[in-house]
Amino acid sequence: MENSDVDLDGDLAELRVKLGDRLITERAAVAPFERDSSRTVFAGEALALVLAESAEDVSNALAWANTRGIPVSVRGAGTGLVGGATAYDRGLIVSLERMNAILEISPRERLATVQPGVVTADLDEAAHAHGLFFPPDPASVRTCTVGGNIATNAGGLRCVAHGVTSDWIAALTVVLADGRVMRTGARTRKNVVGYDLTRLFVGSEGTLGVIVEATVRLESLPPGAPVTFWAEFDGLAGAGGAVTEIVGSSSRPEVLELMDALTVQTIEAVFPSGMRIPRGALLVGQTVGPDAAAHADAILAICRAHGASDAAIAANDDLVEARRKSNPALSARGLKIACDVGVPVSRLAEMFAGVAEISRQHGIEVASVAHAGDGNLHCKVAAPNTPTGIAAADALIDDITRLALTLDGTITGEHGIGSVKQHELAWQLDAVALDVQREIKRALDPRGILSPGRAI
């Protein structure tokens, strides 16, 4: 890709004719959009920022960049943790934050049509007014956007009951690299026309096209108030055994989160919520529906049978809200380098124990929290903000990733690959799988302008 011949005055003036004041070139205004929430270090200066307000804006921006071979980074709220939204030197940034309208909620069809910049919690709240909810539920639900969730196929706390974002996407409108606009999917429950292009774009991390509209499925709100429960374990083996049995039982919860002692201690220090510090791990969850209390009691019985030192129903949902604050709490303590891996639920206890051993071997503090019901483990590693400190943390994270693979797991459960995990791709995918994915990329983006060097 070659963009050194871009005429900042002439070429950008041509784009400005189409975008007006939505094209930003002032350094002070562009700089905040050059980085996301990851540890990726950006070096250089982006050419310009597009504050898109419509699919036409995105189409004009991509067509312009494609003609000139200019790399494009795409961003929503910038909450990603793997460098997927970091800018490129002399690249174009396309921001979707202004495309934040909920265009339609159809209670009869249980569908909503939204622009990509809609904050996930705002969609969920709007659906509540119709007796519905949007099941995908990342911990950052109050700041992340629906478009970002789709781009990374995000999961979250309710995955154990409702799956990941791809399970709730009915149709998409996507702008391709050359500026063409394509629609995928349908509003119907069944649709087997052609290849499943909708799922192809979900999780593609901005490498195949830019999502400018999504029709998502909604679910009926369960009756009654949720019941929150907790259980303390002195060791990880008991907690892991309890989780495995809970997931396989008829009392499957809506939320099931497991936190190690360091995570609980840190949350309590920064955001006090009444959690007791366990010796080993704390399991927190919720049940919903008319039998929520009975299901919670059955789950607590399973926890006690697996050696929980204490277990009870909570007075409110403060513990679940505290779990959502684990990331900012740990970051405030200095545990700033994040990774996520996934393992089969039955191997979760082994994964927790293995991470603790890796932490001991490296002599670096690690805090772990898991969406226990689906085996998705998030680790935060302490590291000084220096090249040497970050390199040491990355080496530890590589060991965590290798451990997950030995336990039949995956190198990422929901954060995605971005630029941070590029070097790990060949650890999980064989050469043929990588080649096929890169051929798809070349077919849709032959000049390689969309998030080059990321995802696949």
Is there a single domain that holds both residue 144 and residue 231?
Answer: no
* 153, 376 contact by CB (below 8 A): no
User: What CATH number does residue 409 fall under?
Assistant: 3.30.70.2740
* 155, 136 contact by CB (below 8 A): yes
d(CA 242, CA 300): 9
By DSSP bridging, strand 169-175 and strand 132-133 are: unpaired
Residue 255 lies in a domain: yes
Last-in-domain residue among 167, 202, 220: 220
Is there a single domain that holds both residue 120 and residue 80?
Answer: no
Residue 74 lies in a domain: yes
199, HSE (Cβ side, Cα atoms, 13 Å): 9
Q: What is the pLDDT of residue 274?
A: 81
Last-in-domain residue among 309, 324, 339: 324
Is there a single domain that holds both residue 65 and residue 162?
Answer: no
By DSSP bridging, strand 48-51 and strand 92-95 are: parallel
User: What CATH number does residue 124 fall under?
Assistant: 3.30.465.10
Q: What is the pLDDT of residue 291?
A: 96
Structural domain of residue 122, as residue ranges? 102-220
Is residue 109 predicted with pLDDT exceeding 90? yes
Task: Report the percentage of the chain scoring pLDDT > 90.
Answer: 89
Is residue 334 predicted with pLDDT exceeding 80? yes
Q: What is the pLDDT of residues 114-130, one digit of tens each?
A: 999 999 999 999 999 99
Is residue 6 predicted with pLDDT exceeding 80? no
Residue 450 lies in a domain: no
Q: What is the pLDDT of residue 8?
A: 67
Q: What is the pLDDT of residue 2?
A: 52
Q: What is the pLDDT of residue 332?
A: 87
Mean pLDDT taken over the chain: 95
- Number of structural domains, the chain? 4
Is there a single domain that holds both residue 308 and residue 383?
Answer: no
Is there a single domain that holds both residue 212 and residue 237?
Answer: no
> At 333, is the pLDDT very low, low, confident or very high (cuts 50, 70, 90)?
confident
Q: Where are the alpha helices (DSSP H) in 110-214?
A: 120-128, 146-152, 159-162, 197-201
* 443, 380 contact by CB (below 8 A): no
d(CA 377, CA 381): 13
Q: What is the pLDDT of residues 158-193, one digit of tens each?
A: 999 999 999 999 999 999 999 999 999 999 999 999
Q: What is the pLDDT of residue 331?
A: 87
Q: What is the pLDDT of residues 259-316, one digit of tens each?
A: 999 999 999 999 988 888 999 999 999 999 999 999 999 999 999 999 999 999 999 9
The candidate with the shortest Cα–Cα distance to 214, out of 77, 119, 103, 124, is 103
The candidate with the shortest Cα–Cα distance to 399, out of 376, 379, 369, 373, is 379
Is there a single domain that holds both residue 291 and residue 382?
Answer: no
The total of other beta-carbon atoms located within 10 Å of residue 342's CB is 24
Total-model pTM = 0.93
Is there a single domain that holds both residue 334 and residue 306?
Answer: no
Is residue 63 predicted with pLDDT exceeding 60? yes
Is there a single domain that holds both residue 34 and residue 85?
Answer: yes
Is residue 58 predicted with pLDDT exceeding 70? yes
Stretch 12-27: mean pLDDT, rounded?
96
Q: What is the pLDDT of residue 41?
A: 83
> At 39, is the pLDDT very low, low, confident or very high (cuts 50, 70, 90)?
confident
Q: What is the pLDDT of residue 5?
A: 65
Is there a single domain that holds both residue 312 and residue 375?
Answer: no
Is there a single domain that holds both residue 121 and residue 168?
Answer: yes
- Strands annotated E in 343-405: 366-371, 376-382
d(CA 450, CA 434): 18
Q: Taking the CA atoms of the chain, what radius of gyration do you get in angstroms?
A: 22
User: What CATH number does residue 272 fall under?
Assistant: 3.30.70.3450
Residue 455 lies in a domain: no
d(CA 445, CA 65): 12
Last-in-domain residue among 172, 191, 220: 220
Stretch 118-145: mean pLDDT, rounded?
96
Residue 259 lies in a domain: yes
Q: What is the pLDDT of residue 188?
A: 96
Residue 368 lies in a domain: yes
Is there a single domain that holds both residue 107 and residue 216?
Answer: yes
- Strands annotated E in 280-433: 281-287, 310-313, 335-342, 366-371, 376-382
Residue 2 lies in a domain: no
Residue 35 makes CB contacts below 8 A (sequence gap 6+) with: 42, 78, 86, 87
Stretch 227-241: mean pLDDT, rounded?
95
Residue 161 lies in a domain: yes
Q: What is the pLDDT of residue 4?
A: 56
User: What CATH number does residue 85 fall under?
Assistant: 3.30.43.10
**What residue type is assigned to position 197 of the chain?**
L
Is there a single domain that holds both residue 212 and residue 277?
Answer: no
